[in-house]
Every structure is written in structure tokens, then in C-alpha cells.
Amino acid sequence: MSRLLAACCALLLALPAHADGFISRLLDKPVPGGVAVVDLGDGPTPPKATYQDKPVLTVREDGKRWLAIVGIPLTVKPGEQRIEADGRSLAFRVEPRHYREQRITLKNQRQVDPNPEDLKRFERELAEQTDAYRRFEPRQPSNLLFDKPVAGPLSSPFGLRRFFNGEERNPHSGLDFAVPAGTPIKAPAAGRVTLVGDYFFNGQTVFVDHGQGLVSMFCHLSRVEVKTGDELPRGAVLGRVGATGRATGPHLHWNVSLNDARVDPAIFIGAFEK
């Protein structure tokens, strides 16, 4: 074998069979509460994709192939899942992930076991927030690598099985940052404010829609500095950290929702740890 042919063979062996782009490397974390990136091909127009009968964010990477960015609910079991895209059924595999427990003591027992009046309020507020999560605006998100909304240490990760005063409740659906009251909260990406409210569990809350079912929710604020309909550039201050609602002290709780599935925000800031 000539030296030139040997060198060419070595080069071919060194190249990956399929070189994932930046979006895949950043976001493809297919676990319960994670994100799957599914290749949709290189057609001239964006495919329409759905997962569990809900529309899915699609983006074009490097001006070539289309990708579906799929949010995976925490309730999904490991194994094969499928999306539908322009008449095709495409598979992806969900890998197992273990989530730890968190035990919290609250002085206000009503925030553990709400009374009937509290429950009526909660159900009304839940319907408002569910509508905000299920919006699907056609705009393309400005970026998929998010900024942290506050500069500070993480106090509670996503997915923790939570026990309040010894009673199990829903898993932790976002990230908590331990920062002082009054700390400015900044939009991690451009978006439109779709909901502002003062809720029983979440306290003062802001929803920001980044486009195509990608939504951020910020809660327990001490002050809200935006209103519904405001267009926010990346980095705009939307409010201040507080301890309103069900909170044991000042902190920011940040949710990210994708096709109405709450997913780990750490994925979008490059801080995901399996």
C-alpha cells in the first residue's frame, strides 16, 4: 500500500460516521425530563412534527438538515418513543435516569394540604398556566443556548422527588438558584411575556414564550417588572428574586417547557449532568 493511500485510509478511519452539530451536542439528552434531537432530513421546507399529539420545535442546523427538538415528560418510561413528521414515524430511545429525593419543612400547613377554597383557587390558576405552556407560536427561538437568568449557585436541581412535611408531592419541575431577594432576573433568550400572575404555590410569576412551544417560567418573585404582551430581548430584566408563594426563603425557581413537557433547564445552559 502506498504512503498516500495509507494516509487516506487513516484519515477516513479518524472521521466520525455522523458528525453531530452544535445543537445535537448541546441538547440531545434523551432521558425522562430531558430532550431528544431527532434528524428530520434535509428537505427544502421545515417538516411539521408532533410528539404525543403535540407540535414540536423544529430548527435547521448549519443550513442543512432539519432537527426536531423534543421535550420528554418526566413520566415517560425508558425505551423507544416515536414522533410523527410529515407522514413518517421516527423513533428515538429514552435512557434511564435516577433522580434524588428532597425533603422540605413548611411552617404553613395549608401549602401542603390546601383547604377547599385554596384548591378552587389552585385549579383556576393551574388552568391559566397550562394554557401558557401549551401555546405554540410559529416564531423561531432566537437561541437555544440560554443564559442563566441569575448569577448564583444552584440550590435544587430538576427532577427531585419532593416531600413537604413528610408528604410526597410532584417532582421538582425546574432549577432553583440560591440568590438574595431583589436580585435582577434576566430573560435567558428573547421572547414575549404571555402570562403574569400571583399564584397560590408559585407566588409572583412570569411566563416568557421563546417560540415554537419553548417556554420559560419564573416564580417566587418579589417584584414583577414586565406586563403581558411585552417583547423582551435577551438579557432584559423581568423582575426581582423573592420568596412569594410556597417558598422557604428567597430564591429563583426557573422552569423550561418544551412541547408542554417540563424539561431540565440545565440542558439549555450547558450544565446537564447525567
- Angstrom distances, CA of residue 241 to CA of 172, 209, 247, 268: 18, 20, 12, 21
How many CA atoms are closer than 13 Å to the CA of 52, on its beta-carbon side?
12
pTM: 0.85
- Angstrom distances, CA of residue 81 to CA of 27, 188, 265: 17, 29, 21
The residues, any chain, with a CB within 8 Å of residue 121's CB and separated by 6 or more, are 200
pLDDT digits (tens, 9 = 90+) for 90-129: 999 999 998 776 655 545 555 556 678 878 888 999 999 9
Cell, residue 148: 442563566
How many CA atoms are closer than 13 Å to the CA of 186, on its beta-carbon side?
13
- Angstrom distances, CA of residue 160 to CA of 74, 94, 130, 173: 11, 19, 21, 8
User: Any idea where the domains of the chain sit in the sequence?
Assistant: 22-94, 101-269
**In contact, 259 and 57? CB cutoff 8 Å:** yes
Whose cell is 502506498? That residue is: 2
CATH number of 101-269: 2.70.70.10
Beta bridge mates, 223:
240
For residue 81, which amino acid is it?
Q
**In contact, 217 and 207? CB cutoff 8 Å:** yes
pLDDT digits (tens, 9 = 90+) for 161-209: 655 454 555 678 899 999 999 999 999 999 999 999 999 889 999 999 9
CATH number of 22-94: 2.60.40.1590
Q: Quick one: 222 exposed, middle or buried, by C-beta within 10 A (0-12, 13-18, 19+)?
A: middle
Supply the mean pLDDT for the chain.
87
pLDDT digits (tens, 9 = 90+) for 180-192: 999 999 999 999 9
